[in-house]
A and B are shown apart, each in its own frame.
Chain A
């Protein structure tokens, strides 16, 4: 069964360093999402792609976060520089279309900023 892949699974970095996360959605899924989940809270959408285009990045802290999906397949989320408050789980999800409603989640990347 096809799954969303993410790497790394765990990342420890010092504040002010750069960090990057990678996501490979289920093949054929046009819509890709990046969420941040702080401990004890639900996931919060950071950015949504439709193919290679950004549909919604209203909650993305653009001074330090960037996301790309250059060929409309896999995606990278970057933080530069990392801050202590960025410690969280970063989840990637994909859906077959813009309006499918069901999202398939990856295992997440646990980021710890020291």
Chain B
């Protein structure tokens, strides 16, 4: 069965420190992976997807098929990065399977 695992429910780092939010998946086909983010009092929104291979708000994520991972990284955390982050896997017909989420807190 398709599954997305985010091992950390909570992650706290200091401003300026590097951030890595972990995501592992299980999927038998060719996966399409996404990171969605929900800032306080805002809607869930797409942050980035692996096929675009772009950096959004300083975040990048590389799909590692060997390790079945799609970790989200940022070299220098900012206070406005504090949010709930969800890793998601797309199955056929763009059905999204979400992980349980990681709450990221950036301390000043």
Q: Is A45 positioned at the interface, with any CB of B under 8 Å from its CB? A: yes
Which of A42, A56, A91, A98 interacts with B101 by CB under 8 Å?
A42
Residues facing B in A90-112 (CB within 8 A) are: 91, 93, 95, 98-108
Which of B34, B43, B96, B100 interacts with A40 by CB under 8 Å?
B100
Q: Is B74 positioned at the interface, with any CB of A under 8 Å from its CB? A: no
Q: Is B98 positioned at the interface, with any CB of A under 8 Å from its CB? A: yes
A102 CA to B94 CA, complexed, in Å: 9
A41 CA to B102 CA, complexed, in Å: 10
A3 CA to B42 CA, complexed, in Å: 12
Q: Are A31 and B94 in contact (CB-based, < 8 A)?
A: yes
Residue of B nearest to A101 (CB): B94
A42 CA to B4 CA, complexed, in Å: 10
A93 CA to B45 CA, complexed, in Å: 10
A31 CA to B88 CA, complexed, in Å: 18
Summarize A's interface: helix, strand, loop or mixed. loop
A40 CA to B98 CA, complexed, in Å: 12
> Which has the most chain B C-beta neighbours within 10 Å: A31, A42, A55, A102?
A42
Residue of B nearest to A58 (CB): B95
Q: Is B17 positioned at the interface, with any CB of A under 8 Å from its CB? A: no
A56–chain B nearest beta-carbon distance, Å: 6
A102 CA to B100 CA, complexed, in Å: 19
Q: Is A81 positioned at the interface, with any CB of B under 8 Å from its CB? A: no
Q: Are A56 and B93 in contact (CB-based, < 8 A)?
A: yes
Q: Are B93 and A48 in contact (CB-based, < 8 A)?
A: yes
Chain A residues, CB < 8 A from B51: 101
Q: Is A28 positioned at the interface, with any CB of B under 8 Å from its CB? A: no
Chain A residues, CB < 8 A from B45: 104-105
Q: Are A101 and B101 in contact (CB-based, < 8 A)?
A: no
Please report B residues at the A interface, Cβ cutoff 8 Å. Answer: 4, 9, 32, 34, 43-46, 49, 51, 86, 88, 90, 93-101
Please report A residues at the B interface, Cβ cutoff 8 Å. Answer: 3-4, 31, 33, 40-45, 48, 55-56, 91, 93, 95, 98-108
